Each structure stands twice: as structure tokens, then as C-alpha cells.
Amino acid sequence: MPVIDHIAVRHYRLPLDPPFPAAWDPRPRTVFTATLVRVCAGDYEGVGAGDAMLGFAGHEDLFLGQDPFAIGRHAQVLDHLQFHYGRMWPLEIALWDLMGNITGLPLWRLLGGTSGRVRLYASTGARLPAEERAESARRLRAAGFPALKLRFHAPDPREDLAIVAAVREAVGPDMAILVDANQAWRMPWDVSPSWDFKTAVWMADALAEYDVFWLEEPLHRHDYEGLAALRRRSRIRIAGGEGNRDVAELRRYLQCGSLDVYQHDVAWSTGILRGVQLAREVQAAGCLFSPHTWGDGLVLLANLHVAAAVSQAPFVEFPYDPPYWTPERRDFILPQPLQPEADGSLTLPDRPGLGVTIDWQALEGLAVS
């Protein structure tokens, strides 16, 4: 059995012209940066992506010479590291990809899944005027997506509600609408307050009239009791948990009954091993697991593989909002962008690991020193 003999962390940056006006960021984004982790064991390679791995440099010796398949041990060390530094789960993704390449199994099968097919929802990223978003929603419905997600962030929530009304009228009753309030966390330079409880209650009641499938992140991520009270009162599902950094926080949601839909991102929040364990606990409790996937193409692939293996949710996030956020922008690190199929689903590759081979030479022109 080969042992881990090389780990490298590289950063790549794609200029965005025109900039991307992400609803959750008051600053339009002029670049998109991706961090790739490359792990080698003999002739085998694994890759992962996600956060910038801040603080990892100098700790490679904790993994070099180790068995790639000792994933429980590796996840524990990464959890220790991220307590002291940044989020470290891109390395765990790379280790799973490596295990898949050694065994010849795609990740979704390595995790015990029986099908690599995932039903998607179109996750929009820009906040647009009602008429423009309604027209975009018509195009997404025509493209075969069974559901779409709208982003909120207006100072007056009634302006956001008007967008939901326009979209529901545009797509009719059969397309599911999801709403992301983006109240759980903020960009470092955004000091605007989160909604209070009564605003969240008012919005949940209003959205129920438009048959919205879920309301995502309506309160601060650590307001466990407030989310539980909102969930008990709400006629629609309450979703969240995408960025909570500790599995204990997500388990507290379960203990308090805070959420209907758990969205922990295996690249950003839990890693794959613990993300799968938590997803099974969530579903055993009668809730849904539909992971957050907003990131580059490898982040998307990792979450889709996990969802294909364990999720019972009716659809999973697929960042897609042309012309503002395209597969070509999102997946610039991949040889080919991931594209939805005609029925709004995606069939994951049956190739080993994540199913892609990075063209390192092709990325050199976008490398960040």
C-alpha cells in the first residue's frame, strides 16, 4: 500500500469581467480565487479544493508517510488544525479522491451509494429586479430545473418578497422556489444586522402564501433556540448550517430541533467523513440533508458525490445564474465545466475518485504566488 509522500497547496485566480454582484456581498467580485490541494502516494494523486488552508504550511509532516486510508485519523488531525487556523477540509477531500483513485472507485460508490445521479436546483447568486429575475426564472424552468433558489438582501424585506411574487407568477405552481435570506453570517466588511425573530416570522408567513419550499438562514447561525421557535411556528421548511465550523454546532441544531433542512458543506463545514455521519443522523431524525455547494468545480463535485451517496433530499444546490454566474466561471479549474442535463439533473462520472483529472499546466497562467 503506498503512503502519502507529497502534499502541495496552490492558489489560482480568475479575473471576472464584468464583476459578479453576489447578493451576500456588498462588494461586486472582480476575481474568483480557488485553492487546490494535491496529495500524492506513489503513482496515485488526489485533489481537493475549498478554503485557502491558512495555517497548514509547516504541518505537512503530520500526514507524510501515513496510510491514505487512515481517514478517521486524518479527519481528527485536520479538526485539531482548523481549531487553531483556517478551514482544512480541502485536504480531506483530496485524501478521499486519492482513495478513490487507488481503489478504482468513484467517490459516491466508495461512500456506499448506489447511483451517481443527482437532481439539481438552480442556485442563483445575483439579486435582480423583479421583472429581470422573473424572466431568468422562466429560462431556468425551460432548462429543466425542478427548482430554483432566490437570494434576499434588500434593506426592506418587502422588496425581496416582491421578487418571489413575480417569480411564482412567472414559473407557475409546479416549479419549487427556495429562498436564501443570507442572515446567518456576513462578509468581514458587512456590518449590517441580521433579521430579528419577528421579521423572520413575518417573512416565513408571507413566503408560505407563495408555496416556497424552504427559507434558508433566516436568523444568525448561533440562534439555535430562535430557529427552533421559528421552525415550530413556520408553515415552510427552515434550512441552514452551511458554514458552521464545528460538528457540535450542527448537532446542537438537531438537539434543539432548529432546522428542517441541513446544508453542511463538506468542503467548508464538516469534511466528508463527518459530513456523511451527520447527514445520516439528520435523515434518521426525519430531516433533509441538501448540502451547500457554492464554490469552485471541485467543491461542487465533492458535495454532489456525497449527496449522491447519502442524501434523500429532492434536489441539491447547483450554482447557476447565467450570465452573472456561469459554469465556465464556476469551474475554471476543471478541464470541462459541469453542465446540467435536460431534465435538471447531473450524472456523476463513474471514473475513480471525484472523476476529474486536473490539467496543472493549463492552470499555470492563473497561478497566484
pLDDT at 77 over 80: yes
Please give the mean pLDDT across all residues of the chain: 97
Angle between helices 272-284 and 71-84 (to 10 degrees): 100
Domains and CATH numbers, the chain: 6-104 (3.30.390.10), 110-347 (3.20.20.120)
**Of residues 223, 167, 214, the one with CA closest to residue 195:** 223
- In this prediction, residue 45 has a pLDDT band, given cuts at 50, 70 and 90, of very high
Secondary structure element (H or E) that encloses residue 219, with its range = none
Q: Rounded to an integer, what distance in angstroms lies between the CA atom of residue 206 and that of residue 4?
A: 54
pLDDT confidence of residue 153: 87
Using CA atoms, how far apart are residues 37 and 47, in angstroms rounded to an integer? 5
Cβ neighbours of residue 233 under 8 Å, at least 6 residues apart? 201, 204
Query: How much of the chain is in helix, strand and coil states, percent to nearest 5?
Result: 40, 20, 40
Q: What is the pLDDT of residues 238-257, one digit of tens each?
A: 999 998 999 999 999 999 99
**DSSP code per residue over 190-204:** --PPPP-HHHHHHHH
Whole-number Cα distances in Å, 116 to 266, 307, 352, 354: 17, 9, 12, 11
Q: Is-cis flag, bond preceding 323, omega within 30?
A: yes
pLDDT tens column, 85-119? 999 999 999 999 999 999 999 999 999 999 999 99
Cα R_g (the chain), whole angstroms: 20
Dihedral class, residue 247 (left if φ above 0, else alpha if ψ from -120 to 50, else beta): alpha
pLDDT tens-place string over residues 143-154: 999 999 999 989
- What is d(CA 125, CA 24) in angstroms, rounded to the nearest whole number? 8
The rounded percent of the chain whose pLDDT value lies above 90 is 98
Q: Three cell numbers at 102?
A: 487507488
Confidence of residue 282 (pLDDT cuts 50, 70, 90): very high
Cell of 345: 439533473
Residue 162's region, left for phi above 0, alpha for psi from -120 to 50, else beta, is alpha
Which of 324, 306, 297, 268 has the alpha carbon at shortest distance from 136? 324
With residue 176 as reference, give the H or E element that holds it. strand 176-180
Sign of CA dihedral 205, 209, 211, 217: negative
Tally the C-alpha atoms within 13 A of residue 142's C-alpha that lie toward its C-beta: 7
Q: Would you state the pLDDT for residue 143?
A: 97
